Every structure is written in C-alpha cells, then in structure tokens.
Amino acid sequence: MMSTAGAEMCYYQFRAIPEIFVDYAEKASIDPMFRATTLPSLGIIERKYPTDDQVAFGYSKPWARLKTYVEHLNEQESGQTSYKILYITRHGLGYHNVFEAEVGREAWNSHWSHLPGSGKITWEDAHLIEEGIQQAKDLGQTYADAFAVDHLPIPKSIYTSPLARCLETTKLVFEPGLRQQGAEFRPYIKECLRERLTDHTCDKRSSKSWIAQNYAQYILEPSFSEEDGLWNAERWESDSEHVARKQRLLEDIFESDQNDFVALVTHSYAISAILEVVNLGHFRMREGSSIALLIRGEKLEKGAQAQV
C-alpha cells in the first residue's frame, strides 16, 4: 500500500475543505487557551451535500451522507486530485507531559528533557501514564460507538508515529472498534509522523526489534532502521524542516494509498505542522483527543513545487 523506500515523490498542494467540521481554528483565534477535544461525531456539521439523493434509504445520518459525497468527489476527478477524510489523534498523556508540567517548561527544556528520566520515572521514548491509558480507552469507546451508531466510516488505513506513546494509543483507540466491525487491525508505522525532532530524549524512539516484539501487528516501513537514525542530541529540527517532513508524509499517503478514510496517530507539534501543510489555521489539541478533516490533494505539474 505504501511506497517503497527511495521511490520518487510527487508534489501535491493540500487544502482542508471548510464547512465540513467544526472550525477549531476560529475557536482558537478567540480563546488563546483553547485546546481541541473530541466532539460528538468528531465535530461533523449538519449540512446538505449535492449527493444527498444518492444515500441509501435509512442511512441519512451526517457521516453516511458525507461518505457518499467524498466517494462522489473522488469518482469525478481525473486522477490529479483526490480527497481523503483524516482522523487525526493526539496520543494520550505521557510521562514526559506530566514531569514537564511538574517542574515547569524552563527547567524541563534546560535540564530534565536531556536526561532519560528522573531516577523514579523514565521518559526516554515516553510511555502513557495511567491517565493517558484511560484517555485512549475512552476515545476507543467513542470510536466504537460512532462506528456502530453514527455510521462513522472505519479507517481503512491507520498510520502511527513509532514513538511508544503513539503505538500504545493506536492500539487502545482503534483495535476494539475495528474488531467489533470485523475489520483487521494492522497499523502502519511512519517515521514522518514523529514529533518535531529535538534534543529531548522523549523524542528518541526505541529500537526496531523492541517495536516488532511489542507491536507485532504493526507494519514497519521497508527502510525502518534498527536504531533511531533521526534523533540527534545535538540538533533541533527547524519549523520549516518539520513542515516539509509532514508534507512528504501526506504526499506518500495520497500517492500510494487509495483509501478515502485514513487515521493518523501522532503528536502535538506534529499536528500543528500538518495543519500548516493543509493551510488550516493554528490550534492545539489536548492529549487523547481526535479531530476529523476533509483534505483535498492536488497533484501539481511536473517541476512545480507545493507552497507550504
């Protein structure tokens, strides 16, 4: 499904389609302290679509009508443009989140974040704390209910960051609901979905062997290395480098994945970078929360370059 290592990437321009879901960016512009949380039915807006007359009788709920509309959009395109619904989830609360809040951002950034842990807890490739586990379980129940009651389409592809907090979140959020729907749970691990790369040890991933042993159901990219070759204790990834990495991520998914409904499990700053790629206003998300976006990806002429 995914392109192989070294494959030539296409250039795309991505745009989030407005007036489909609640405008979180507008809420953030009004309240600087706003954090997006999971809304009922993932915040879909009750509205009409040009394809409403094509929806099967008895399936007139908003998600059933949106699904028909997205399928129609993709059927009408020549191949240069495609549309996908992205379910974007921020991982549950991790040990690094709690310790940073305890000592303060300045002490965290200047000292503690460079260590593997405090001696009592470890945050190198941080795992979920109990509260984070419960957040993910609660979100999993929300998805399971939405699949069964709201006709929320199940994600046919699930992509996750390789960091432990996202691997844990992915399993707790999506496996129960997919199992109830008789669907296979086989997430893809994507290096490009990682958090912005900093000198913080919480951004360093575990080995390929550890991931394969603990998450055997997950599919690793062919190029996935045994040890983390991206993290560097002496270097921070710039904002522009991070946004470019998320641009490559979406290009890879749009170019090689034909599914209309796709889930991404990732991190706070990674979500901010994705929002920039799809030209959506900035907002932050709480841990263990999900949003949905309808994204239009337009393949540009050869030699052109996307503006991100």
The predicted structure's pLDDT at residue 2: 41
Rounded distance between C-alpha atoms, residue 161 and residue 305, angstroms: 26
Burial label for 183, CB within 10 Å (0-12, 13-18, 19+), is: middle
Pair of tokens at residue 195? 């958090």
Res 53: pLDDT: 86
Which of 20-29, 57-66, 238-247 is predicted with the least confidence, judged by mean pLDDT? Answer: 57-66
Residue 244 to residues 11, 94, 239, Cα–Cα distance (Å): 11, 26, 9
What is the structure's pLDDT at 220? 97
* DSSP state letter for 43: G
d(CA 177, CA 246): 27
Q: Which of 77-91, 127-141, 209-223 has the lowest mean pLDDT?
A: 77-91
Region 87-111 average pLDDT: 95
What is the full DSSP assignment across 118-153? -SSSB-TTPPB-HHHHHHHHHHHHHHHHHHHHS-PP
pLDDT, mean of residues 238-261: 95
Calculate the average pLDDT of the chain: 92
pLDDT tier at 305 (50, 70, 90 boundaries)? Answer: low
Catalytic residue set: 91, 195
For the cut 80, the answer to whether the pLDDT of residue 234 exceeds it is yes
Alpha-carbon distance 270 to 158, whole Å? 16
Full-model pTM: 0.93
Which residue would you say has higher pLDDT here, 184 or 55? Answer: 184
Q: In this prediction, what percent of the chain has a pLDDT beyond 90? A: 88
DSSP string, 229-282: SS--TT----HHHHHHHHHHHHHHHHHH---SEEEEEE-HHHHHHHHHHTT---
pLDDT at res. 182: 96
- Looking at residues 249-254, what average pLDDT do you find? 96
pLDDT in tens, 48-58: 999 998 776 55
So what's the pLDDT on residue 303? 53
pLDDT at 233: 93
- Report the pLDDT averaged over residues 129-147: 97
Q: Residue 60: which pLDDT band, with cuts at 50, 70 and 90?
A: confident
CB of 45 closer than 8 Å to CB of 19: yes
Q: Tens digits of per-residue pLDDT, 127-136?
A: 999 999 999 9
pLDDT level of residue 61 (50, 70, 90 thresholds): confident
**What stretches of 20-61 show up as alpha helix (H) in DSSP?**
24-30
